Amino acid sequence: MGIVYNEKCRTLTLQTRNTSYQMKIGNLDYLLHLYYGPSVCDADMSYQIRQYDRGFSGNPYESRNERTFSLDAQPQEFSTQQQGDFRTSSIEVVNSDGSYSFHGKVTDYQIQKGKYRLDTLPTVFAREKDTVDTLQITLTDQISKVQVILLYSVFEEADIITRAVRVVNEGTASIRLKKIMSVCLDFLNGLHMDLVSLPGRYGQERQVERQHMTHHIHTIGSVRGSSSHQQNPFVILCDRDATEDHGNCYGFSLMYSGNFLAEAELDQYDQLRLVMGIHPKQFDYELKPQEIFEGPEAVMAFSRDGFTGLSHLYHDFYRTNLCASKYVTEIQRPVLINSWEAAFMDFDDVKLLEIAKAARKMGVDLLVMDDGWFGKREDDNSSLGDWVVNKDKIRCGLDHLVEEINKLGMKFGIWFEPEMVSEDSDLYRAHPEWTMEIPGRRAVRSRNQMALDMSRKEVQDYLITSINQILDNANIFYVKWDINRSLADIWSNVLPAERQGEVYHRYILGLYRVMDGIIKTHPDILFEGCSGGGGRYDPAMLHYYPQYWVSDNNHPIDRLKLHYGTSFVYPVSTMGAHISDSGKLVPLRTKAVVAMCGTFGYELDATHLTEEEQKLCKEQSELFQKYYPLIFKGDYYRLTNPFEPGNMTAWQHVSKDRNEALLSVVVTNLTCNGPQEYIRAKGLIPDVMYSVNGSKEAHSGSALMNAGIPIEREVPEYTAFQFHLKKQEQTVNA
């Protein structure tokens, strides 16, 4: 069983295939954290905690004259509030008498088969073949009667542990929740650990930064109303000497699309605490008696095999247990062309058909009609919210346009931006109160659009009805769901003044309800997420979308870094990647090689390509379809780091049986009379012979991994290479 309670030691141990996680109902019924790491067999790890008088560290009153027990130094599973622990907290409660205090002790625990669920937030799920157990621990404050219920699910085969939290007001008066973390994890010594995060900006999302832990609070988070371009709700704590292939790595991935916070604090005793959850900025949530608040789920993984080992755990798990869409594993996704960079908003039905006919010659299966098809939309100053077809552009009618596209043997897709509204729109003129605007103040504009108050049920209902009406009246195969601004002017006209601190979170809850009402009611439609590119690329979004647009930056050389950073946690199968006109000096074939590290498609005007270019695109589309199972289902390896000096960037896809691999290289820095370069493969079987690109010449897996493949030297700038490695019948000793 994945969860075991030892009554004698009062320990609770969570076991996956390769890891152990242990906590203890300790002194005075406080819940103490003991261990997370490589599997330990039938061990009570409480011997690690050394209790002694720390001097000026407060002691709980119940400990009487015993000065050796202080919560300021104990490794806790969920830290208390105002009980002598001065480190970053897991919770902040304002009780009915105005006091700030939560004194939580263990009053109950339950072990159950299967995966817990949250009523208000998306979570990962268990498949029938998964071995999953759930632990529920109740911490109760005996004075206020506030309960915190800690939820853990153990996915044994996947080496994954998920965590979530519920706050239940069992008292007789209302409380206010001002901070709630889904994860609190204490390490007894974190002095020689590093923190890895994925910061960025618009067009340069999920870059990789690594910092040594110092005696400060290291803070990563977003207060933009979404998980954001600037940060991602994913962090790694790792050994100082951890590399791609070696070293202990702990991953924390938060399933939440709004404001989030991760704090890592190295304390006075070199103990390290990491907390992660909803950002407390402008968060003030009232809980009346018997009401429940749910915090988002966090997905935790541990690997002793470096960043690659950790990435493989997340990739495998998120490919199978995050999104239920049939396009994740059952149906191969089509090669698409999007109208945005081909025509922007200057198109009509005739232009779209011309693009589709030209794209069909390129092996494209799906035409996507992007922004500009609705209301009176001619530029980005009007019509958001008016989800009715612009008859001046689509003169033949949407259903007829889709039929004409289908006659070409192609599928049809459409773009929406549901959460936004233009001032110049019928929707705003009818319902100005539906927007986020602080009374008496002019709202901040971004891209000349305003945010709808997604916390309002009537707004949610309007979006569900109007968008479903479009989807249900034409043969729509694909939807691109976009959001192109951060939130400001946080205010809801339906909440009283004292509850405006709930708006950020209620917005996200409303968004999830809308997605439930549109995406989950259309299982035959392939949905792709977008937020000005990759500005809301998080696990909760990927619960709904099997793929997400990595970035609006399509330059293939920039994309090397974008794909590299994104791959630390998110599988290649989620990464929207296209060929575009961006990067004029980069060969078309190189653009295709880069786009194959993702969903593959085009963002250009196919009617402007020469016959030779269309033929090359068709060859690349067919090549992507050929390698699709390898790219989407295989193990992904980062062979080089594009953030470090070097002459090329390389990556590799390896089939699960290790019989086949695709190794890709892009030359990024040509030097005069440069040295001979070699790329070493990974993940192959050492004593098996592999052919390279179908040639009769074969090399052993050990040779390819240790000596490498020589890269041709005298090539044009930004040349790309692909090496298809295929297992041969003979072995090295044959």
Residue 378 Rama label (left phi>0; alpha psi -120 to 50; beta)? alpha
CA distance 73 to 49: 10
Nearest to 256 by CA among 164, 176, 166, 320: 164
Q: Indicate the length of the chain as a whole number.
A: 734
Please list, in sequence order, all residues whose beta carbon lies within 8 angstroms of the beta carbon of residue 273, skipping any fewer than 6 positions away: 79, 87, 88, 184, 185, 186, 187, 263, 264, 265, 267
What does 325-352 look like in DSSP terms, one character per residue? -TTTTTSPPPPEEESHHHHTT---HHHH
Q: How many CB atoms lie within 10 A of CB 633?
A: 17
CA distance 10 to 28: 12
Q: How far apart are the first and last CA of the chain?
A: 44
Count, in order, helices (H) and strands (E) of the chain. Answer: 12, 38
- The 3-class SS string of 371-384 reads CCCECCCCCCCECC
Which one of the listed residues 341, 538, 552, 605 is annotated catalytic? 538
Contact 121, 255 (CB under 8 A): yes
* Main-chain dihedrals φ then ψ at residue 435, nearest 5 degrees: -95, 165
- The 3-class SS string of 282-296 reads CCCEEECCCCEEEEE
CA distance 203 to 667: 22
* Main-chain dihedrals φ then ψ at residue 621, nearest 5 degrees: -60, -45
CA distance 445 to 449: 6
> What count of Cα atoms within 13 Å lies in the side-chain half-sphere of residue 299?
31
603 is known as an active-site residue: no
CA distance 159 to 309: 11
Please tell me whether residue 365 adopts helix, strand or coil conformation: coil
> What count of Cα atoms within 13 Å lies in the side-chain half-sphere of residue 319?
21
Please list, in sequence order, all residues whose beta carbon lies within 8 angstroms of the beta carbon of residue 7, skipping any fewer than 6 positions away: none
What does 456-487 look like in DSSP terms, one character per residue? SHHHHHHHHHHHHHHHHTTT--EEEE---S--
User: What is the enclosing helix (H) or strand (E) of 366?
Assistant: strand 366-369
C-alpha radius of gyration, the chain, whole number: 27
Which one of the listed residues 239, 354, 581, 613 is annotated catalytic? 613
Contact 576, 548 (CB under 8 A): yes
538 is known as an active-site residue: yes
Structure tokens at 684: 């192959």
Sign of CA dihedral 315, 316, 321, 323: positive
Q: Which residues are annotated as catalytic?
A: 538, 613
